[in-house]
Amino acid sequence: MDKFHIRGGRPLYGRVSVSGAKNAALPCMAAALLTAETVTLHNVPYVRDCMTLRRLLEDLGATVLTPELRTHKISAAHVEVLEAPYELVKTMRASVLVLGPLVARFGRARVSLPGGCAIGTRPIDLHLEGLKKLGADVSLEAGYVVARAPQSGRLRGAEIEFSKVTVTGTENLMMAATLAHGRTVLRNAAREPEVVDLAELLNRMGARVRGAGTDTIEIEGVESLTGAEHTIIPDRIETGTFLIAAAITRGELEVKNCRPEHLAAVIDKLRAVGVEVEEINQSTLCVSGKDRAFVARDVVTEPYPCFPTDMQAQYMALMTQAEGTARITETIFENRFMHAAEMMRMGAQIEIEGHTAIVHGPTPLMGAHVQASDLRASASLVLAGLAAEGETLIDRVYHIDRGYEKIEDKLRAVGAAIERIR
């Protein structure tokens, strides 16, 4: 099992490029199941989750060609298997994104229930309720969701209001509705940039999707979809992670190939803390923590466009170096403070009260042997290790490989003393 070895205390300087967004690439890859024609995706990040979904698509019978490292040409012309097995779904919950496309195009699907995960249960009830409203017959059989379209073979449009915001639920039902008969309206829909990116691909494929990026999305169903070519948006969470990496190490980075407008809430919070963030152009940010005094600021995680839950752990690492007390309240996932205990092993002063972490700073961090519990926790421990005095060893970095493309290479290129131990 791979580990990261970090020698901390080195400011980061230079340029770093952001990869494609894993959370945008996954639904776009699943959307290729909606057509027999080829869907070409550019800027697909080379991360474990995308490799897992590629394997699932191939197991279903799709062909995935990579003429270039970050380009996927996906053909679902000869899909024969309509099942996503537990062995794959348990390693990546986003595998459930194939459910909507399979039912919409082929009339049936059998997808394993994801089960629990380190940061919470994340049930798919809202996906299933939405499919039922679209006319599907949905049942649970031996740990699998079995969904079948009506006897007509085609889903039918419906009005669906989510009881709470769900990103994958919005994406799954948006894909399913593209081939449904009639009009579908999704209310209280997720507004994330990744949802907008998926809608842009679907429209390029001939779908009629309006309102993506707002809380109401309208989909007018069509008979069939075609192939298309699409470039995945940059990863806003990777962008935010590098912004904090520059700040926490008291360095200065130019972060390229990003979309600053997708990270407005994080940038505003960092500026309030005292981090210098300058927008150079539409795809480049310059961030500096050099000679800056950081002041603790509270944060509450909420759905987009507010502060994202996927930046909470990284922000906690920064708050260990800020003057004062910061209250970090997590409203999305119930178990997302497991990294706090590992940071405390490094000298952080953190108290957990229910859904709130109280961080007292600044405290000097000392290198230690720590263990990652999930994807973003991994990133937060890397940040803490970069800021700490001495050597940090991080176990279970396979978590970080799920969503960050060769992060150790990118950090080493801007001055970090980090290496992977295999």
φ/ψ bin of 302: left (φ > 0), alpha (ψ from -120 to 50), beta (otherwise): beta
Joined tokens for residue 291: 């000679």
Of the listed 117, 258, 286, 306, which one is catalytic? 117
Joined tokens for residue 309: 């839950």
50 is catalytic: no
Q: Look at residues 375, 380, 374, 315 and name the one whose alpha carbon lies nearest to residue 346.
A: 380
- What dihedral angle (degrees, nearest 10) is formed by the CA atoms of 281, 194, 50, 302? 100
The total number of residues written for the chain in this structure: 422
Q: Which residues contact 87 (CB under 8 A, 6 or more apart)?
A: none
- Read off the DSSP letter of residue 392: E
Whether omega before 305 lies within 30 degrees of 0, making that bond cis, reads yes
Number of helices and strands in the chain (H, E): 14, 24
The C-alpha atoms of residue 63 and residue 140 are separated, in whole angstroms, by 29
Task: Map tokens 């798919």 to a residue.
Answer: 124
Enumerate the active-site residues: 117
